[in-house]
Structure 1
Amino acid sequence: MATLPSDDEIDRLARKRAGAKLGWYAHALLWLVVNLFLLAISDVGFGTRRWTPFPMFGWGLGLLLHGVSVFVLGTGSSLRERMVQRERERLQRERGGPRP
């Protein structure tokens, strides 16, 4: 049977999750600012080439993967917890049931 987390463990996990989400929000804001800047300077004419979306898509893929790691697969996420619980149950069955 799983033990309930202590208040300190809950606080630590909550702080870790909040920090990860704030990191993603900062990443997304920086992505937006940099790509708007690149678009603006291409229209002003610092060069003869038009702005291309390739940096936006490349960095956007990184931002997407960062978001998945924070919001879907992060420590304590429901998906991760369900997978851990299933693995724990499977290992206990293979061992012959839970031991006291």
Structure 2
Amino acid sequence: MSTHLSPEAIEQLARRRAGAKLGWYIHALVFTLVNLGLFAISRYGFGDRPWSVFPLLGWGLGLALHGISVFLLGTGSGIRERMVQKERERLQRERGGH
């Protein structure tokens, strides 16, 4: 990567990325605990059918998208950085050609 970050920028980026990852881990923990509770209520409490699968699937999709945004597409991720680099190179070529 040709971009050089200052120590302050590295610190800020590291804190932002760590905060985003911590946020996902907390989200995953809450998801697990709440869905275990809903499963217990569904299984041993109310209703004849396992209705707890519906919040599990909906919230699970949200958790998966949150994980993708944090681990794959987040600031400083490999995919995003490669895309930014490609765009930077394309813009430099266009600017140099005109």
* In 1, Cα distance between equivalents of 2:44 and 2:7: 55
2:32 is aligned to 32
Q: Equivalences for 1:1-100 in 2 at 5 Å? A: 2-45=2-45, 47-52=46-51, 53-96=53-96
Aligned residues: 96
* In 1, Cα distance between equivalents of 2:6 and 2:83: 22
Could you list the per-position Cα deviations for residues 40-86 of structure 1 after superposition, in whole angstroms to 9, with x for gaps in the alignment? Answer: 112332x2343320110000000000000000000011111110011
Instruction: Report the TM-score, using the length of structure 1 for normalisation.
Output: 0.88
Identify unmatched segments of 5+ residues in structure 2. Answer: none
* In 1, Cα distance between equivalents of 2:89 and 2:42: 57
How far off is 1:2 after superposition?
A: 4.0
* In 1, Cα distance between equivalents of 2:5 and 2:65: 29
Identity %: 67
Identify unmatched segments of 5+ residues in structure 1. Answer: none
* In 2, Cα distance between equivalents of 1:44 and 1:76: 45
Q: Which moved more, 1:2-11 or 1:85-94?
A: 2-11
Could you list the per-position Cα deviations for residues 2-49 of structure 1 after superposition, in whole angstroms to 9, with x for gaps in the alignment? Answer: 44111111111000000000000000000000100001112332x234
Let me know the Cα RMSD of the aligned residues.
Answer: 1.6
* Structure with more of its chain in helix, by fraction: 2
Instruction: Report the TM-score, using the length of structure 2 for normalisation.
Output: 0.90
